[in-house]
């Protein structure tokens, strides 16, 4: 998707905003579709956020009430306060990645654990949530330009990314290998077992970085490398896996577990061949809310997430999406991330 700024045509109906970019489509879904306020524009009134709204069988719909926190709100940059909204970027185009972020069964609402966490954070701030969808690459362009206040899109905290972004962690980062149930191999934490395998991975992702580093190590040791494959969307990758054109897919574990559950009754069921920390063998990786470096928002995000953890809304969010195994006990501001070198 081009990185140029486009004029947006906004249509509002029943509290849902849909934006269509002139010269290209950018799917946008307002947080108002899943959030109600006691009094519109009142920063002191409690918000009720509908977790899992339009998520179908992927989540258990749950209504969570959040009271705005004046002390945390006071930490926000003035420009965001004046706007009355938190603009949340999600990189789920073109086809989404359930259960984290995808278009719901009403064919318009952006749902999933990431958009819903954004709506809960906005409620802590006493702001409206404006959740906007983009491609993975364009999401970062929009964070850089200030069009998105924060990215919530399964973004791994890495030392390299810290040069441009600030982080507030909110979930463990676990990656996994998805294979056919009939496959005769497992990862077992040893990259040497990937020698000669054809593995799919998403371009520009943390898992791609790890896979390419393992490939380099294999070749340096005189072994057969990894045949790395890229697909435009999750459906194409799934078809390649089920048809045997690839040996496995290396992707975020939540998405893998979703696809595995969906495949149980199908003709070509899938299974997990093992997981790996997104920060490498020596450090538990973390997924983090991501903002432009030094824009003044990261501490408020961490404090808002910690409020949600302390008051139970966080655990109920993860429970609704069957993600409790990836819970963290606290949000950290710029914690140690994936090293620039994983050796």
Here the tokens at position 241 are 């896996």
What domains does the chain contain, in order, with CATH numbers? 8-172+285-326 (3.40.190.10), 173-277 (3.40.190.10)
- What is the pLDDT confidence band of residue 35, given thresholds at 50, 70 and 90? low
| pLDDT at position 36 | 52
> Are 45 and 52 a contacting pair, CB within 8 Å?
no
Query: In 3D, which of 292, 290, 295 has the Cα closest to residue 333?
Result: 290
Cα separation, 61 vs 32, in Å, equals: 16
- Residues found in the chain: 343
Here the tokens at position 26 are 């950018």
pLDDT tens digit sequence for 136-177: 999 999 999 999 999 999 999 999 999 999 999 999 999 999
Determine the average pLDDT of the residues in 106-115.
94
| pLDDT at position 134 | 96
Say what percent of the chain tops pLDDT 70.
Answer: 87
- Strands, DSSP E only, in the chain? 8-13, 16-21, 28-30, 35-37, 47-51, 62-66, 85-93, 102-103, 110-111, 128-135, 150-151, 165-180, 198-200, 227-229, 248-252, 270-277, 285-292
Termini Cα distance of the chain: 34
pTM, two decimal places: 0.81
> Which contacts (CB < 8 Å, 24+ apart) does range 211-218 have?
211/250, 213/342, 217/191, 218/191, 218/192, 218/194
Determine the average pLDDT of the residues in 307-314.
98
């Amino acid at each position: 998707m081009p990185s140029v700024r486009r004029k947006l045509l906004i249509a509002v109906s029943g509290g849902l905003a849909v934006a269509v970019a002139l010269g290209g489509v950018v799917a946008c879904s307002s947080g108002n579709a899943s959030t109600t306020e006691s009094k519109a524009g009142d920063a002191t009134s409690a918000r009720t956020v509908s977790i899992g709204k339009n998520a179908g069988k992927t989540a258990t719909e749950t209504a969570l009430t959040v009271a705005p926190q004046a002390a945390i709100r006071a930490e926000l940059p003035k420009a965001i306060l004046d706007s009355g909204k938190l603009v949340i970027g999600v990189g789920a185009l073109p086809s989404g990645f359930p259960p984290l972020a995808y278009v719901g069964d009403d064919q318009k609402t952006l749902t999933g654990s990431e958009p819903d966490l954004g709506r809960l954070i906005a409620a802590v701030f006493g702001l409206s949530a404006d959740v906007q969808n983009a491609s993975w690459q364009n999401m970062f362009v929009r964070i850089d330009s200030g069009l998105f206040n924060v990215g919530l899109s399964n973004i791994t905290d890495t030392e390299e990314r810290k040069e441009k972004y600030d982080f507030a962690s909110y979930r463990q980062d676990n990656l996994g290998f998805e294979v056919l149930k009939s496959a005769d191999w497992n990862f077992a934490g040893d990259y040497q077992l990937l020698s000669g395998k054809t593995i799919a991975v998403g371009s520009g992702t943390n898992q791609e970085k790890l896979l390419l580093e393992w490939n380099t190590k294999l070749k340096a040791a005189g072994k057969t490398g990894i045949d790395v494959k890229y697909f435009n969307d999750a459906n194409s990758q799934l078809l390649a896996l089920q048809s045997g054109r690839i040996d496995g897919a290396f992707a975020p574990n939540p998405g893998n577990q979703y696809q595995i559950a969906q495949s149980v009754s199908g003709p070509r069921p899938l299974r997990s061949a093992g997981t790996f920390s997104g920060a490498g063998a020596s450090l538990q990786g973390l997924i983090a809310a991501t903002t432009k470096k030094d824009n003044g928002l990261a501490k408020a995000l961490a404090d808002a997430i910690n409020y949600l953890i302390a008051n139970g809304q966080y655990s109920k969010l993860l429970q609704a999406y069957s993600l409790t195994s990836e819970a963290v006990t606290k949000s950290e501001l710029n914690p140690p991330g994936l090293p620039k070198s994983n050796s």
